[in-house]
């Protein structure tokens, strides 16, 4: 079993409102998370040669894994949904229909997402709960605190300052939010929703 992860290469077209420099700098941070997930496993393997002596250190590394792994995976959703360019949501899609049931219409859904995003920092996540058959919009601090157990993320909006500070001041982060939502490939998001609804 391999515990080595490779950083993804993303093909992201020009985005209105988010500069190439911003994306490039941000992808470097993402690559850091991949590197550190791999490093943690290398360190665990080395420390495992003397579990009695290194037990506490290994436990702390396991805690750290949640931060680095989620940082890796959430960024893969974030950048992955920009690939292929902006695509509007298809009103016939399963995703659209479920958004309509819970929020009334797509504009109300987007307005709610934006209003929650306006008051926080970290990751703003749209999760789907297969048990409750409903969406949740929740904040994840850092990459790990506030995750809703077992729920698949449908949208992961990076609202850490590093995600927009090349282009915007914190006071203007609403512009970044709109630029990201406008740039989303909703076909890719809807496809992910179909997969978790199976
Ligand atoms: Fe980020």
Q: 158 CA distance to ligand 1 centroid (A)?
A: 5
Q: 172 CA distance to ligand 1 centroid (A)?
A: 17
Checking if the pLDDT of 2 tops 70, the result is no
30 CB-near residues (< 8 Å, 6+ apart): 7, 71, 72, 75, 76, 79
Q: 177 CA distance to ligand 1 centroid (A)?
A: 13
Q: 10 CA distance to ligand 1 centroid (A)?
A: 14
Q: Residues 28-65, buried b or exposed e (16+ Cβ, 10 A)?
A: eebeebbebbbebbebbeeeeeeeeebeeebeebeebb
**Is 94-197 in CATH node 3.55.40.20?**
yes
Q: 58 CA distance to ligand 1 centroid (A)?
A: 26
Q: 128 CA distance to ligand 1 centroid (A)?
A: 22
What's the pLDDT score for residue 29? 98
46-104 pLDDT per residue, tens: 999 999 999 999 999 999 999 999 999 999 999 999 999 999 999 999 999 999 999 99
What's the pLDDT score for residue 161? 95
Q: How would DSSP label each residue in 4-58?
A: --PPP------BTTB-HHHHHHHHHHHHHHHHHHHHHHHHHHHHGGGHHHHHHHH
Mean pLDDT of the chain: 95
Q: 23 CA distance to ligand 1 centroid (A)?
A: 10
Nearest to 196 by CA among 147, 158, 137, 155: 155
Checking if the pLDDT of 34 tops 70, the result is yes
Number of other CB atoms surrounding residue 116 within 10 Å: 14
What share of the chain has pLDDT > 70, as a percent? Answer: 98
Q: 165 CA distance to ligand 1 centroid (A)?
A: 11
Q: Is 195 helix (H, G, I), strand (E, B) or coil?
A: helix
Q: 162 CA distance to ligand 1 centroid (A)?
A: 6
9-32 pLDDT per residue, tens: 999 999 999 999 999 999 999 999
Q: 117 CA distance to ligand 1 centroid (A)?
A: 15
Answer whether 146's CB lies under 8 Å from 70's CB. Answer: no
- Domains of the chain, by residue range, sit at 20-80, 94-197
Q: 123 CA distance to ligand 1 centroid (A)?
A: 8
């Amino acid at each position: 079993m391999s515990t080595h992860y490779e950083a993804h290469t993303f093909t992201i077209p020009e985005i209105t409102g988010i500069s190439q420099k911003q994306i490039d700098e941000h992808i470097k941070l993402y690559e850091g998370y991949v590197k550190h997930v791999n490093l943690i496993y290398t360190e665990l393997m080395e420390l495992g040669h003397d579990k009695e002596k290194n037990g506490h250190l290994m436990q702390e590394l396991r805690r750290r894994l949640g931060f680095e792994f989620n940082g890796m995976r959430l960024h893969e959703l974030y950048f992955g949904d920009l690939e292929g360019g902006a695509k509007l949501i298809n009103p016939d899609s399963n995703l659209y229909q479920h958004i309509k049931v819970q929020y009334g219409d797509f504009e109300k859904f987007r307005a709610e997402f934006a209003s929650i995003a306006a008051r926080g920092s970290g990751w703003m996540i749209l999760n789907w709960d297969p048990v409750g058959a409903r969406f949740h919009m929740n904040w994840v601090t850092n990459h790990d605190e506030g995750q809703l157990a077992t729920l698949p993320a449908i949208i992961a909006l990076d609202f850490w300052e590093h995600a927009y500070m090349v282009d915007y001041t914190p006071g203007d982060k609403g512009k970044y939010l709109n630029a990201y939502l406008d740039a989303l490939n909703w076909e890719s998001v809807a496809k992910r929703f179909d997969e978790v609804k199976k």
